[in-house]
Chain A
């Protein structure tokens, strides 16, 4: 076949004359369109390969022995009977991997397997590799561990009060080893302004723990090959950090370690740090010379956890008569579970991330994270700020009630605005919060519903703000946060190499859209190869809603270099200025005469002839001068903030306490929607997850320290029949720093779900369930209590006339 024949095939697929003329009218050809994902068909046809789908020749199967005690010293471990079992190849224990690890370099307090102490029921103690999973299971039963149980703590208050049996050794002698982190920050004179406030509302809120519950259980495969190179395939969302920690803990040269992230079946923060199975598959492979796979059972996923911290929060909020916030005073105790995880950051986030979207004259928070003998808490979608957001937004509803102001209006009055600084000194640029409020107000018909629906029905509003990535990486360094390498083939195919972690949110697709936009190639000419530390430049991973923002910027930077080369080469060939050459729809064409054009592959060939092999790297690093000027002022600082508002409409059944959330209107300022379908998917998925935490989910424990419900039957995530209707309203504020103006959409839209539901419950039945979840027994009990007070004349009849009081009291 001649080269010309190849081009003919491409011409058939390229844009028509008419389409090219239309293209000239539009700012973007790809960005902003409702396109398919790059991985959609592969997923819907069942072809996508997840970690447990991989089988390597000679692969062994591993299992981890877990502690039945919540808090105990390990006196001895005898694995001789397990090793003697036919089919068992290796047993490892904590002493084989004595180097402690932790996602944050300042708080490395975990071991791949426990060395001398177990700290929760489910803590890993030993691991086995065997010919199959069943043999490995039998081997676990043969490992004899002698424990000496010590007092365990499930309640952070008790752990704080009693430092006699510390879960970890104190940082300094005399300190309480059960305190994981304490942060106290004050901005402005809170006491004076609170004193001077005309209205002060105060309440205590409790956020019960919840967990991510990605449908894919964690899975990892390790292979230590004959040359001494270690490869780990893992369902992780932070391949780069895993890469480093594997080398550190296993004492290997990091250049001889490779981490590959296959497709991940959901993560939500639950796969954002190293886990015991990743170290164990590596070590077991080193011990056996064979590939080793470990797949968690669903029960083990609950023990791995790293989910939302339970938080007990006391909030005082003061305002003047017009509703302007003068002072916010927050005091929070966080239940951290057995280890640190991201806890240092979570402790800061619990205070630092909730100052926006509101202007407040002064603000103070005091947060203490406490160790308990339970699975370790960490970052779940909306890390650290979903809990205090619940408190802040219900406080505002109380304030609106006290002042007789509409709660949407109260939020407008206090809106921070754009191009400013928050009370804790974070730089805020684009801000579409007012547009978000307007959108949900109009779409929900708010003014005709608020306080006007009959008893049992209500609407509620809440707002929020979230980061588009963190300004600083997890380990201090000056290098870029994200990098992309592009490789261009003579066929027109472009490959994007990037360390970014696709976990279902669509980061691979975002990279493809950007390259298609910049280079004018059809979307299916683009291959995205992501998250393989041997092949891809570093991106820090899928956490803190950073991927689209950061790898998107890196990708633009790389693609534009190639774009310039192509335009220059074509311009030279046509004898025109390179600015006159556009790349779109599979063509390089003259913007003054669309008839003058070349198939894009031919344009690439001209550029390759002119400049040599086409390729480029691009990177993104965050601006470093935008944070607060105080210790901790970098934590919570982000290059851009997203904003959200929800209105919820629901019905409360006063006889049972069931809350039926019927509809959530979600308005989210994502800067620019690179693909509205993906943005809506993030908004709906977020709102759903918040709704689930509000109504159903509880990550709780029995007195013995055993998890109450480590299964998908007993841990209640919503089914299709439970989930409300959702309407996504995209607001675009065009951020100056974001790629094409884009900001995050994956975590922010979760935040208002819970307080909006709480506020709607109040509108419906006049009770404030300040404790999560709003389960039927809690709501019912609150309704009963209000009825008693109504009957005693202490409270007005909520949305009912006196003659209507004959609603039966259903309890004793």
Chain B
């Protein structure tokens, strides 16, 4: 059965028809074309599909799409603004925190939520916040460094690139 719903993604309101049994991830990727959010495990085990729903990190692959109706959905594509990439996105690039890049969108969403709550997260707080996002490339070290760099940049009101010596 096709259901007509209104979905707000990255500030844009979409009126779309979706099969009523679709998840938010299926809708984002296959109906709306927001392919930034990834599918890695099928069922909520890996975190690659993480998006913000009203600012809360949420596994879109196990969220019925109807539960996103009436809420603000933010995907990795929505983190960057007209002024350029989000500090985290730039810091990930600077620190080499994205290798294959497949888990990166989910990791970034979880990290963005952490930085909204905490100005100076400890290493342990970062680990805990990212403990639902499996990364297979980096061993996580460069990811922590990137989150710490972005946090420092935000605290100092500067760009991450201004804080690193090359």
Contacts and interface: CB of A to CB of B under 8 A. Distances in A.
B121 interface: no
Nearest to B45: A712
A45 B100 contact: no
Interface stretch (B52-60, B64-72, B74-82, B151-159): B74-82
B40 A215 contact: yes
A726 B138 CA distance: 11
B115 interface: no
A723 B42 contact: no
Interface stretch (A245-253, A261-269, A398-406, A472-480): A261-269
A504 B166 contact: no
Contact of B136 (A45, A50, A268, A505): A268
A35 B164 CA distance: 11
Nearest to A40: B93
Contacts of A532: none
A681 B95 CA distance: 9
B99 A712 contact: no
Contacts of A689: 136, 139
Interface string B82-98: 00010011101111111
Given A39-B101, A719-B134, A45 B127 contact: no
Nearest to A46: B36
A789 interface: no
Contacts of B136: 212-215, 266, 268, 685, 689, 717
B101 A43 contact: yes
A45 B109 CA distance: 11
A684 B139 contact: yes
A552 B137 CA distance: 22
B96 A47 contact: no
Contacts of B105: 46
A33 B71 CA distance: 44
Interface string B15-47: 000000000000001100101111111110110
Nearest to A719: B131
A40 B98 CA distance: 6
A43 B140 contact: no
Find the residue from A215, A217, A685 having the highest chain B CB count within 10 A: A215
A44 B131 contact: no
Contact of B140 (A40, A265, A720): A720
A503 B101 CA distance: 9
Contacts of B94: 36, 40
B135 A678 contact: no
A689 B36 CA distance: 26
A712 B92 CA distance: 25
A267 B43 CA distance: 21
A41 B135 contact: no
A806 interface: no
Nearest to B132: A719
A215 B48 contact: yes
Interface string A203-230: 0000000001111110000000000000
Interface string A275-301: 000000000000000000000011100
A504 B77 contact: no
A657 to B, nearest CB: 22
Interface residues of B, number: 59
A748 to B, nearest CB: 15
A708 to B, nearest CB: 15
B21 to A, nearest CB: 9
Contacts, number: 181
A653 interface: no
Nearest to A715: B45
A503 B136 CA distance: 12
Given A41-B89, A719-B132, A721-B127, A680 B100 contact: no
B92 A40 contact: yes
B76 A45 contact: yes
A120 interface: no
A677 interface: yes
B135 A215 contact: yes
Contact of A712 (B96, B97, B134, B144): B134
Contacts of B104: 43-44, 46
A37 interface: yes
B77 A264 contact: no
B73 interface: no
Interface in A703-743: 711-713, 717, 719-721, 723, 725-726
Contacts of A723: 139-140
A44 B36 contact: no
Interface string A496-517: 0000000111100000000000
Given A41-B90, A44-B98, A684-B139, A35 B166 contact: yes
Interface string A24-56: 000000000111110111111111111011010
B46 to A, nearest CB: 5
Nearest to A34: B166
Contact of A44 (B41, B101, B137): B101
A215 B142 contact: no
A212 B100 CA distance: 14
A688 interface: yes
B149 interface: no
Nearest to B41: A712
B142 A681 contact: yes
Contact of B96 (A297, A678, A721): A678
A39 B41 CA distance: 24
Contact of B46 (A43, A680, A712): A712
A44 B85 contact: yes
A312 interface: no
B48 to A, nearest CB: 6
Contacts of B48: 215
A45 B77 contact: yes
Contacts of A265: 38, 40, 100-102
Interface in A662-684: 677-678, 680-681, 684
B117 interface: no
A687 interface: yes
Given A45-B77, A46-B37, A215 B96 contact: no
B142 A41 contact: no
B9 interface: no
B78 to A, nearest CB: 9
A45 B99 contact: no
Find the residue from A37, A46, A721 having the highest chain B CB count within 10 A: A46
B7 interface: no
A298 B42 contact: yes
Contacts of A688: 138-140
A805 B77 CA distance: 59
Given A52-B39, A684-B139, A721-B131, A713 B45 contact: yes
A629 B107 CA distance: 51
Contacts of B42: 297-299, 711
Nearest to B30: A55
Contacts of A503: 100
Contact of A53 (B35, B128, B138, B140): B35
Contacts of A43: 92-93, 98, 101, 104
5 contacts: A46-B76, A215-B38, A215-B103, A719-B132, A720-B127
Interface of A: 33-37, 39-50, 52-53, 55, 212-217, 263-268, 297-299, 503-506, 677-678, 680-681, 684-689, 711-713, 717, 719-721, 723, 725-726
Given A46-B36, A53-B35, A719-B131, 9 more contacts: A40-B96, A41-B85, A41-B90, A52-B35, A215-B46, A215-B134, A677-B95, A684-B138, A717-B134
